[in-house]
């Protein structure tokens, strides 16, 4: 498969330049590498644009399903009023690391920034355990 001209990156931060950083995902999912992660499909980066805060106890446990784009929050507080950002980025410095993800170790300047309202994604989020308890307690 040929490299697409553009990829997509999601962030809860408004950025002019996207810089590499240390990811905190699972090694078995290629989610722990240093760099900038991107996907070919816009829909796959929406979960990364959501604002999810640490729980009152200072913990966060979330899962992004790379195949469906669905999000499960086990512990953490989702700010459904927050706006996130989807970046369309040039693919030149990216290498494919698995079936879905691309990685660059160099800074990238987006060609487009799309604002995304987190509330529009609420039907794709499942709350479990402490996150579910928190939501029920604060409604």
Res 127: pLDDT: 96
Can you give the pTM of this predicted structure? Answer: 0.87
Res 69: pLDDT: 84
Question: DSSP character for 111?
Answer: S
Q: Which residues contact 27 (CB under 8 A, 6 or more apart)?
A: none
Give me the domain span that covers residue 35: 6-138
Backbone angles phi, psi at 49, to 5 degrees: -90, -5
Res 16: pLDDT: 97
Q: Which residue has the tokens 């816009």?
A: 42
Domain count, the chain: 1
Three-class secondary structure of residue 57 per DSSP: coil
Q: Is residue 1 part of a domain?
A: no
pLDDT in tens, 74-90: 999 999 999 999 999 99
pLDDT in tens, 108-128: 999 999 999 999 999 999 999
Q: Is residue 101 part of a domain?
A: yes
pLDDT in tens, 40-78: 999 999 999 999 998 888 888 988 887 788 999 999 999
pLDDT in tens, 6-27: 999 999 999 999 999 887 766 7
Res 40: pLDDT: 95
Q: Is residue 80 part of a domain?
A: yes
> Do residues 10 and 84 lie in contact, with contact meaning Cβ atoms separated by under 8 Å?
yes
Q: What residues form DSSP beta bridges with 127?
A: 73
User: Which pLDDT band holds residue 1 (cuts at 50, 70, 90)?
Assistant: low
Res 139: pLDDT: 77
Res 65: pLDDT: 86
């Amino acid at each position: 498969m040929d490299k697409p001209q553009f990829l997509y990156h999601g962030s809860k931060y408004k950025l002019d330049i996207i810089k590499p950083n240390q990811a905190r995902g699972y090694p078995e999912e290629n989610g722990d590498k240093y760099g900038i992660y991107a996907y070919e499909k816009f829909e796959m980066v929406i979960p990364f644009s959501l604002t999810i805060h640490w729980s009152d106890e200072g913990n966060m446990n979330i899962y992004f399903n790379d195949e469906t784009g669905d999000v499960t929050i086990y512990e953490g507080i989702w700010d459904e009023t927050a706006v996130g950002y989807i970046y369309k980025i040039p693919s030149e410095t990216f290498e494919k690391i698995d079936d879905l993800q691309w990685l660059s170790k160099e800074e990238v300047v987006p060609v487009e920034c799309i604002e995304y309202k987190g509330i529009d994604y609420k039907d794709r989020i499942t709350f479990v355990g402490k996150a579910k308890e928190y939501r029920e307690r604060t409604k």
